[in-house]
A = this chain, B = another copy of it.
Amino acid sequence: MLTDRQCKVLKLIVEKYIKNPIPVGSKTISKTLKCSSATVRNEMSALEDAGLLEKTHTSSGRVPSEDGYRYYVDHLMEPKKMTGEDMLKLQTVFHNQQLALSDVIVKSLQVISDMTNYTTVVLGSTSHENLLKQIEVVPIDDVSMIVIVITDRGHVEHKNIRLQDISLDEVKKTVNLINNLIAGTPIDEVSIKLEYEVKPIIGKYVKQHEQLYNAFYHVFSDFTNQEVNVVGKNKFLTQPEFGNIQKIQSVFSKLENPEILHKIEEDDDNNIKVYIGSESKIDDDVTVIKTRFKNGNHEGTLAIIGPKRMEYDRVVSMLEYMKENIER
**Which residues of A line the B interface, CB within 8 A?**
97-103, 133-134, 136, 138, 140-141, 144, 146, 148, 150, 152-154, 156, 158-162, 214-215, 218, 234, 237-238, 243, 245, 248-249, 252-253, 256, 296-297
Contact = CB atoms under 8 A, between A and B. Distances in A.
Main secondary structure of the interface of A (DSSP, over half): mixed
A274 to B, nearest CB: 27
Given A248-B237, A296-B141, A98 B154 contact: no
Given A133-B138, A234-B249, A215 B98 contact: yes
18 contacts: A97-B162, A98-B214, A100-B160, A100-B161, A100-B162, A101-B160, A103-B160, A133-B138, A136-B148, A141-B296, A154-B160, A156-B158, A234-B249, A234-B253, A234-B256, A237-B245, A237-B248, A238-B249
Contact of A146 (B156, B214, B237, B297): B156
A148 B157 CA distance: 10
Output the residue of A218, A238, A245 with the most chain B CB within 10 A.
A245
A103 B158 CA distance: 12
Output the residue of A136, A141, A144, A160 with the most chain B CB within 10 A.
A160
Contact of A98 (B99, B161, B234, B243): B161
Given A134-B138, A252-B234, A296-B141, A98 B162 contact: yes
B144 A100 contact: yes
B138 A102 contact: no
B138 A150 contact: yes
B245 A248 contact: yes
Contacts of A161: 98, 100
A144 B133 CA distance: 14
A-B complex: 4 closest residue pairs judged by Cβ atoms: A100-B160, A140-B154, A156-B158, A237-B249
A73 B152 CA distance: 55
A132 B153 CA distance: 26
A254 to B, nearest CB: 12
Contacts of A245: 237, 243, 245, 248
A243 B246 CA distance: 10
B154 A99 contact: no
Nearest to A239: B245
A154 B162 contact: no
A93 to B, nearest CB: 14
Contact of A153 (B140, B234, B296): B140
Given A98-B214, A98-B215, A100-B160, 15 more contacts: A98-B162, A99-B162, A101-B160, A103-B160, A134-B138, A136-B136, A138-B150, A140-B153, A140-B154, A144-B154, A148-B148, A154-B160, A156-B158, A234-B249, A234-B253
Contacts of A215: 98
Contact of A148 (B98, B156, B162, B253): B156
Nearest to A96: B162
